[in-house]
Chains A and B, each alone.
Chain A
């Protein structure tokens, strides 16, 4: 186990370095965003004073050393822009991302799994053909376009749902009306995200199932006279589970990275939008904090996927043993 996590540790350390140096390799200075256009009116000494204030005048390697030192103590630094602790900013946005991406992941996985299994079972039938074409179409649809289309339909043409935000900005709702308000705001972004991410899992499930349904043991199960539902879901799906689980775990890893496009279209206050805003503002501490957080979750879920893989498939365990 320890040996197995070693490569992941290495990847994480590498990611740490990349997260630090990559944003700084972008041309353009954070000064404009710290000070606005007025930066042009400042004397070179005053500009230098600002750089010193933010520790940006030091050599890059020294900055990296300081960053690592603080990181060990659990300090991700302060945002250049808002001067708030990065960790606090991330945790303010995290619940919204988890809600939106989590909902979409559950819906798209559930739907993808069900449709994938049915598609494979009734391969070539009407359901298979329509869902296959539908999935490929949805996959090709840009998220912002689909989002705009849904807004035009369900917020403007039929004024049923809100266009922006995660809850009503001015209302101090409580209890069920609060929950309902959040759900109403969730519908369109979650639907957009579900539809655009449905195709991945659906296609994997469909192929994996088509493959397993042709295996001898499935024929045997059928020959034994087992009910079809048991054959498909117990015998075939279990054996097709490996690639499906892997894909699901990978999606879990990128769950916290949110959905930049959908969060932007629906002005949803999640981490994806925060990433976009921090990148365009050259807010290095926030950017580093976010990338660190994302890398960490990808690494952790990959590791988990591997562990789960061994548990699910005894062959892997035995091959190692």
Chain B
């Protein structure tokens, strides 16, 4: 009897641990050690990193840049000179964060033998001066329209006193930052534990303790949420689970737009996708609304032909929707282009080219795969065959974007592809559409339009928001006409959280709930 009692007490202790006063949040994969050189994914890795480190500016809840470590950001000389006045901030170890740290960080990312994810953001800076401990002056050789979002609000500031003698930054294990949380423990492959920074300059941080656990499987994640073993997840709810969680009074749902894009990418360098008229025919046949309704159960925003999300600050409403074509209209246009139906119903061009193509889709992404199948069904009645081919994601990337260098060419006709949120967040239209590989480094379809080239170049050197809007609007109209790819949808995210454990969550537009604001008043 005595033994049984002891066992029961143990059991109770262990069971009650799950109800401790702290927030347990799940992420899907390990993010390595949390420094700017070792974290792994853009989401949620960078988001976790930003709980520990700060940037000079920050995208606010609507995605617009606002000063953060900076008290004030002044831009002069037509966008070439940036003067930043720092707040009175301390590192986690109590030392003051000064202009020296800022100068050191930006130079460290650039000069260091290890190229980091932040190297390109600081590459163009020509000079950094520190007239006093709280003032930084950054000079650029030419104006940069997106400097605030792509650099000031993106590059984490490192403590100089910790990093100045580090020669292998990827191997360095120290996460002293200035952010709302201190990293106190990592259990490899299992969890991260953070404690609130009691003297955070951005306000009182809650909760006091944050545990981030790794749950690989989506279904297991939501079962753990339902069982109360976690209080939130960086994963969006699977569409089919939304109504279940909505009905459960233990959960609160947060909904909002994500700026992740999902595209039907054309290789515009090969026939017949090199003809805009042919691409327009495909656009007329593909019905993104049907994909959103069928595959995503309505949990997405239909893509804009101009690529930018309707909620992004530079969106042009005139880009409208893709013009739908009726089957007779399509048949007529294909006839005019010289594609006649063969004996099996598949159309054949004058040169004997059958309208039969491979549509590459990532095997690990069931939603994109199902969308590809649906697209294949939508174009089939017109005598066009898309053979859906599921590829391991790395293999797909290798064919669409070999060596991540668009100048290396490409080996596909059609692919389901997409970009993570920052591409739309930072309105990186030059990267997406410029015909020169050095500038259009994301132009994986080989799109070329001289007007778009010059407009995007101007966009990149324009700081004034109104003028940027005008330039971006023209680019979107041209892209909507030329259709280098079809923007099919941007996911709408729904997150389920347990408000009884923690209820301070805030949805940052385009990014989700895992952000600094969720843990600040």
Contact = CB atoms under 8 A, between A and B. Distances in A.
A164 interface: yes
Interface string B208-225: 010101111101100110
Contacts of B341: none
18 contacts: A27-B398, A28-B392, A36-B117, A38-B118, A47-B405, A53-B115, A156-B223, A156-B226, A169-B190, A169-B211, A170-B17, A171-B17, A173-B14, A180-B11, A266-B220, A267-B190, A277-B30, A280-B393
A47 B40 contact: no
Contact of A163 (B29, B32, B220, B394): B220
A273 interface: yes
Interface stretch (A68-76, A147-155, A190-198): A147-155
Contacts of A37: 42, 419-420
Interface in A244-272: 264-267, 269
A47 B403 contact: yes
Interface stretch (A81-89, A207-215, A222-230, A313-321): A81-89
A39 interface: yes
6 smallest CB-CB distances across A and B, nearest first, come from: A28-B394, A169-B191, A269-B189, A41-B120, A163-B224, A39-B404
B227 A38 contact: no
A84 B213 CA distance: 21
A266 to B, nearest CB: 7
Given A37-B420, A169-B24, A148 B219 contact: yes
Interface centre among B14, B33, B41, B213 (most CB of A within 10 A): B14
Contacts of A47: 115, 403-405
Interface in A108-153: 144, 148, 151-152
Nearest to A165: B190
Contacts of A92: 188-189
A28 to B, nearest CB: 3
B115 A36 contact: no
B357 interface: no
Nearest to B391: A27
Specify which of A81, A92, A151, A163 lies most central, judged by the most chain B CB atoms within 10 Å of its CB: A163
Contacts of B188: 82, 89, 92-93, 269
Nearest to A52: B113
B211 A82 contact: no
Which bracket fits the contact residues of A? 35 or more
Contacts of B393: 28, 280
A33 interface: yes
A1 interface: no
A89 B228 CA distance: 31
Contacts of A151: 220, 223
B29 A156 contact: no
A49 interface: yes
Interface in B67-116: 113-116
B189 A93 contact: yes
Given A39-B404, A277-B30, A53 B119 contact: no
B397 interface: yes
Interface in A1-53: 26-29, 31-33, 35-44, 46-47, 49-50, 53
A26 B391 CA distance: 12
Given A37-B420, A144-B217, 10 more contacts: A26-B392, A28-B397, A29-B403, A36-B40, A148-B223, A155-B223, A156-B227, A163-B215, A266-B220, A269-B188
Interface of B: 10-11, 13-14, 17-18, 20, 22, 24, 26, 29-30, 32-33, 38, 40-42, 45, 113-121, 168, 170-171, 187-191, 193, 209, 211, 213-217, 219-220, 223-224, 226-229, 392-395, 397-399, 401, 403-405, 407, 419-420, 431, 438, 441-442
A159 B113 CA distance: 51
A95 to B, nearest CB: 12
A162 interface: yes
Given A155-B223, A180-B10, A42 B394 contact: no
Contact of A26 (B121, B215, B394, B407): B394
A181 B407 CA distance: 55
A82 B216 contact: no
Nearest to B45: A36
Given A38-B120, A92-B188, A29 B404 contact: yes
A82 B419 CA distance: 25
A157 B442 CA distance: 47
Interface string A159-185: 100111110111101001100110010
A274 interface: yes
A32 B22 contact: no
Contact of A176 (B10, B32, B398): B10
A282 interface: yes
A50 B419 CA distance: 23
A42 B193 contact: no
A164 B420 contact: no
A164 B404 contact: no
A170 B394 contact: no
A164 B20 contact: no
Nearest to A156: B227
A84 B171 CA distance: 7
Contact of A83 (B14, B38, B211): B38
A49 B11 CA distance: 55
B42 A36 contact: yes
A148 B120 CA distance: 44
A53 B220 contact: no
B426 to A, nearest CB: 11
Contact of B223 (A35, A78, A152): A152
B144 to A, nearest CB: 14
B24 A40 contact: no
Nearest to A164: B215
Nearest to B419: A37
A75 to B, nearest CB: 15
Given A27-B395, A155-B227, A274-B189, A181 B24 contact: no
A159 B228 contact: yes
B24 A41 contact: no
A82 B189 CA distance: 11
A273 B26 CA distance: 17
Contacts of B398: 27-29
Nearest to B217: A265
Contacts of A176: 10
B404 A40 contact: yes
Contact of B14 (A32, A155, A168, A265): A168
Contact of A44 (B20, B193, B209, B405): B405
Contact of B10 (A155, A165, A177): A177
Nearest to B437: A44
Given A53-B113, A166-B190, A41 B29 contact: no
Contacts of B392: 26, 28
Nearest to A38: B117
B191 to A, nearest CB: 4
B502 to A, nearest CB: 14
B281 to A, nearest CB: 30
A169 B38 contact: no
A53 B116 CA distance: 12
